[in-house]
Amino acid sequence: MLLLVSALGLICIGFLFYRTLSFYLNKQIDSNLVEELMEVNDFTHSRNIVPAHEQFKDLVIEYKKTRHADTGRKFADTVFYNPKKKVREAARYLKTGVSFNDSNYQVQIFTSKVEWDDQIKSIFMVIISPVLLLLAVLLLVNRFMTRRLWRPFRQILESLKTFNLNQDKSFEVIDSPVLEFRELNQAILDISLRIRSDFKEVKLFTENASHEMMTPLAVINSKLDTMLQSDRLGKEESETLADLYKATSRLTKLNQNLLLLVKIDNNLINEQEVVDISTLLVERISYFQELIQKRSLSVISTLNPASLNTNRYLLEILINNLLSNAIRHNHEHGHIEIILSGDGMTFRNTGIAKALDEHKIFDRFYKDSGSDGTGLGLAILKQICVRLHFGYNYMYNDGQHCFKVDFKPCAALTQKNQINIF
């Protein structure tokens, strides 16, 4: 912006300077033309002749006889043919009227402006060139000084961008001769230390609370299970205990899911290993086989063996959530289709005959009105995909709900064989 304003200002100043210089030089030329006109009059009256235009000094003089005498003077720029140089060039002329031997003439005196223009350009360049050079030097110095002055700010900004609560690396102290930058750096350092301290306390509290909740929930579930197996309960008591058992089981699952989300959000699960995804899918389908048969679902799987260097635990949870979602939200005698390739995996299933809200289904605690889940399954799927750098998408086509997970580029180690099961 500074460069643009400086350039525009220099152009305006240069234009005004050039016009002013041209104006004063034209006045000088006009003054010379008046003197030449006086000499032409003296020459005409003293010689008693009208001189030819090519015979009077360096001027070109033209005469034209007129009926009326016009003593007014007109100065203007034009282009004329210079008989000495035999070229057309810029000139300035004086047009006026003279009387001689009872005759009226219109006389035009032309003088070349080439030398004058060269003088103007020389003067202009002599003055403007140092100004341009000075401006260039100032811009370079300003750029250098600005970079040096704002370097601490850039370092502070870069430290803010790379700051991570899950890493023990502390915020870097920036040394700067500018007092304001030192104060900014110290303020950010203090804030980062407080944030890190608060984050550790919240994380520790969440983990401890979740673990502490698991113990009484497990005891409650165990007691309820024991009471449900008792023969001394009536029908009403059994139904009440069954509802309590479902509620505590749901609370246990909710607690586990929240704890898992905390671990994923804080990047606490980060072990890497090469995972055979096709084998893992076969294992998980076998694990859910009882639920699949209970609902009389048909599963069609087309698995191109592929491997990923990723976290096995998170990938297993991802597949479990996709399978569980496809089974739980399906209808009796429905079907599930699973396709695995080197680029990703797709789960298609029948279910409710309408599309879900693709903008909300991955939000936490969002669930369909007919769902009895916790509303965290797809939220966990989203967080795992983000953590593993996978793409995820939901579509509804031809009466089927489709969830697609795209592996990140170049992460898959594909093989050639194809496995078809079920």
Are 256 and 287 found together in one domain?
no
HSE of 54 in the Cβ direction (CA atoms, 13 Å)?
A: 6
Considering its fold, how many domains does the chain have in total? 3
pLDDT for residue 223 is more than 80: no
Kindly state whether residues 188 and 95 are assigned to the same domain: no
Residues 199 and 316 in one domain: no
Question: Which of the listed residues 249, 265, 281 is the one where a domain comes to its end?
Answer: 265
Q: What's the CA gap between 326 and 328, in Å, rounded?
A: 6
Q: pLDDT-derived band of residue 312, with 50, 70 and 90 as boundaries?
A: confident
| Token pair of 259 as six digits | 């704890």
Q: Does residue 189 surpass a pLDDT of 80?
A: yes
pLDDT value at residue 386:
84
In this prediction, residue 200 has a pLDDT band, given cuts at 50, 70 and 90, of confident
Please tell me the predicted confidence (pLDDT) of residue 157: 82
- In-domain check, residue 203: yes
Same domain, yes or no, for 296 and 314?
Answer: yes
Least confident of 7-16, 70-79, 310-319: 7-16
pLDDT classification of 166: cutoffs 50, 70, 90:
low
Find the range with the poorest average confidence among 110-114, 182-186, 275-279: 110-114
Rounded Cα distance, 348 and 396, in Å: 9
- Residue 46: pLDDT above 70? no
**With bands split at pLDDT 50, 70 and 90, how would you rate the model's confidence at 413?**
very low
pLDDT at 136: 81
pLDDT at 422: 31
Domain of residue 361 covers 273-421
Which of 120, 151, 167 finishes a domain?
120
* pTM of full prediction above 0.75: no
Q: What is the pLDDT of residue 368?
A: 64
Whether 390 and 260 share a structural domain = no
Q: 3-state SS of the chain?
A: CHHHHHHHHHHHHHHHHHHHHHHHHHHHHHHHHHHHHHHHHHHHHHHCCCCCHHHCCCCEEEEEEECCCCCCCEEEEEEEEECCCCEEEEEEEEEEEEEECCEEEEEEEEEECHHHHHHHHHHHHHHHHHHHHHHHHHHHHHHHHHHHHHHHHHHHHHHHHHCCCCCCCCCCCCCCCCHHHHHHHHHHHHHHHHHHHHHHHHHHHHHHHHHHHHHHHHHHHHHHHHHHCCCCCCHHHHHHHHHHHHHHHHHHHHHHHHHHHHHHHCCCCCCCEEEEHHHHHHHHHHHCHHHHHHCCCEEEEEECCEEEEECHHHHHHHHHHHHHHHHHCCCCCCEEEEEECCCEEEEEECCCCCCCCCCCCCCCCCCCCCCCCCCCHHHHHHHHHHHHCCEEEEEEECCEEEEEEECCCCCEEECCCCEEEC
Q: What integer pLDDT is reported at residue 47 of this predicted model?
A: 56
For the segment 106-128, the average pLDDT, to the nearest whole number, is: 76
β-partners of residue 276 are: 307
Compute CA distances 336 → 29, 50, 105, 403, 408, whole Å. Answer: 98, 115, 110, 11, 25
Residue 404, pLDDT above cutoff 60: yes
Residue 367 lies in a domain: yes
Highest mean pLDDT range out of 149-153, 245-249, 348-352? 348-352
Check whether residue 69 and residue 193 sit in a common domain: no
Average pLDDT value over all residues in the chain: 77
pLDDT bucket at 419, cuts 50 / 70 / 90: very low
Give the confidence band of 397 by pLDDT, cuts at 50, 70, 90. confident
CB contact at 8 A, 394 and 403? yes
Q: Are the CB atoms for 380 and 320 separated by under 8 Å? A: no
Tens of pLDDT along 369-393?
A: 556 566 677 888 888 888 888 888 8
Instruction: Decide: 260 and 377 in contact? Cβ < 8 Å.
Output: no
Q: Assess if residue 152 is contained within a domain.
A: no
Query: Is 50 in the same domain as 112?
Result: yes
CA 405 to chain centre: 26
Q: Are 110 and 91 in contact (CB under 8 A)?
A: yes
Residue 211 is predicted with a pLDDT of 67
- Rounded mean pLDDT, 18-38: 80
Does the structure show a pLDDT above 50 at 418? Answer: no
With contact defined as beta carbons under 8 Å apart, do 292 and 326 qualify? no
Q: Domain check: are 393 and 412 in the same one?
A: yes
Q: Residue 130: pLDDT above 70?
A: yes
Shared domain check, 417 and 301: yes
Q: Percentage of residues in the chain with pLDDT exceeding 90?
A: 1
Does residue 140 lie within any of the structural domains?
no
**Same-domain status, 386 and 281:** yes
Please give the Cα distance from 324 to 302 (Å, whole number): 18
Instruction: Please report the pLDDT score of residue 389 as a whole number.
Output: 85
Task: State residue 389 phi and psi, 5-degree precision.
Answer: 65, 40
Task: Assess if residue 248 is contained within a domain.
Answer: yes
The arithmetic mean of pLDDT across residues 197-220, rounded, is 72
Residue 89 lies in a domain: yes
Query: What tokens appear for 231 in the block?
Result: 């023969």
So what's the pLDDT on residue 44?
65
Is pLDDT above 60 for 159?
yes
Reply yes or no on whether the pLDDT at 299 is more than 50: yes
Q: Are residues 387 and 277 in the same domain?
A: yes
84, 187: one domain: no
pLDDT interval class at 347 (50, 70, 90): very high
Q: Where a domain ends, among 237, 265, 293?
A: 265
Mean pLDDT (whole number) for 126-130? 78
